[in-house]
Structure 1
């Protein structure tokens, strides 16, 4: 038996990366899934490969009418929505506060924060009516730690995490759980399509190997399994929680690097020689 047997899910940004891995895992665990994405060819091909348990709906999740239509489509076709995974998003811009492009800043906020708000807004009435549901939002460790190089993305993800907690306090009273998953460095092809996406993911797998205590890159499947837990009945008493999946990166400097830094510091002290005592 699968961990999601008989359950239904809507997954946004489901045509590639974390969303794709989650769609595949949810289907393998027995769920019926509606995939929402702007990448129609990829989404349609995915659902054709997975069969009748997977439906595709081209959706701009920043548009309220389209998100509302997506939820209505899922309820009509699946009968209910057990889980909504708000996963769609876009890359932020690299740079400091003085170089921020206002239009890009606005698009990043809309892509990550408005889309999550819209998803929760329009799925909540249906979940209230059925008396249960699990909403999962994609956060990031960038929303927990300040990442000045990706200032707009970092701020947007902080908002997603806090919006999740606020909604959890309201919707928990209706047996609707609202949680977020905050990935660390995950090797995906985000921002690319086709062969370029595969090349980017392969490059990131190599670059990310030593960026956290666990000596391998994070993979989309790592986040998919976290989402599976939050979508399943195993997490029935988990609400308002941000589940960090980062191989320990958020803990700070790793043991080996810290030992190296300590040794350098000690060597600097030793080379300075004995400290002279001041006389009274």
Structure 2
């Protein structure tokens, strides 16, 4: 039996570099996967790779009604919902705080923080109906310190840490565990392509060469940790944070 047989997993941002990796990984472990995306064509292409046990839902994480519809679709299609991966996120173009526009600030916070809040709130009744479940919030190593020129993103990911711990306290007695994963540099379009309004991607000025694991992460590296936290193997783990960054936060390693 696979780890997620008879379980249903909703992944937001399910067609992005990491999101699609999570979708494939959960499906390979036997889960019914609900691909939440604002890009329906990409969702349909990803679904075409999978052998049944999937559906695509149009999900704008900043819209409460969109969340309600997505949860209803998951339950209608598969009978229950047991796992939420709050993966959807956007990056701001690099700029100092004094020139960061209010619309940029609001867009990043609405997506990366309020979107996760809406998600937790929307799925909680469904997870209770299923007898319990797991929520995994995707943060960032940039939410563990300050990073110049990325105030909106850093603020959102810092706040997500507090939201994770608070939700874990509120939902633990319902059999719902809530944890967070903080990736470092992962080889996806998120860092290899410029953010909207940016002149260059993060990859142009970031190199993993000095660090203990001198490579970019792969989506599979992050998915492995997400699957662990969502599984019964982590039944005693809640309100916890896991960094997967190849040693980036440690600083340069000895050669």
TM-score (normalizing by structure 2)? 0.92
Match for residue 73 of structure 1?
Answer: 73
| Alignment RMSD (CA, Å) | 2.1
- Match of 2:85, SS? strand
How many residue pairs were aligned? Answer: 249
1:56 and 2:56 equivalent? Answer: yes
Say if 1:97 and 1:205 are closer, same or farther in 2 by CA, change over 3 A: closer
Q: Looking at CA atoms only, which structure, 1 or 2, has the larger radius of gyration?
A: 1
Task: Call closer, same or farther: CA 1:74–1:140 in 2, change over 3 Å.
Answer: same
- C-alpha offsets along residues 147-191 of structure 1, whole Å, 9 cap, x if unaligned? 122111011000111101111000011110000110011111128
Cα deviations by residue, 1:121-162 (Å, 9 ceiling, x for unpaired): 011112123321100111111001111221110110001111
1:22 touches 1:224 (CA, 8 Å); kept in 2? yes
TM-score (norm 1): 0.84
Deviation digits for residues 21-76 of structure 1 (CA, Å, limit 9, x no counterpart)? 11111111111100001111110111122032121011111100001110111011
CA contact (8 A) 1:11 1:87 kept: yes
Matched residue SS, 2:189: coil
Q: Is the 8 A contact 1:204 1:217 kept in 2?
A: no
1 or 2, which has the higher helix percentage?
A: 1
Where does residue 271 of structure 1 map in the other structure?
none
Q: Extract structure 1 runs of 4+ deviating beyond 6 A.
A: none
Q: Does the C-alpha gap of structure 1 residues 18 and 10 become closer, same or farther in structure 2, counting only changes over 3 Å?
A: same
- Report whether the alignment pairs 1:245 with 2:244: yes
Structure 2 unaligned residues grouped into runs of 5+: 194-199
**Aligned 1:123-272 pairs, distance under 5 A:** 123-190=123-190, 204=203, 208-256=207-255
Q: Deviations over 1:199-252 (max 9, x none)?
A: x99x94995441531021111111111111011110011000111111111123
1:9 aligns with 2:9: yes
Instruction: Say if 1:183 and 1:245, in contact at 8 Å, map to a contact too.
Output: yes
How much does 1:93 deviate?
2.6
- Please give the secondary structure, in 2, of the residue aligned with 1:171: helix
Contact 1:218 / 1:246 at 8 angstroms: preserved in 2? yes
Partner of 1:262: none
Alignment of 1:90 onto 2:90: yes
Structure 1 unpaired stretches of 5+: 194-199, 257-280
* 1:32 lines up with 2:32 in the alignment: yes
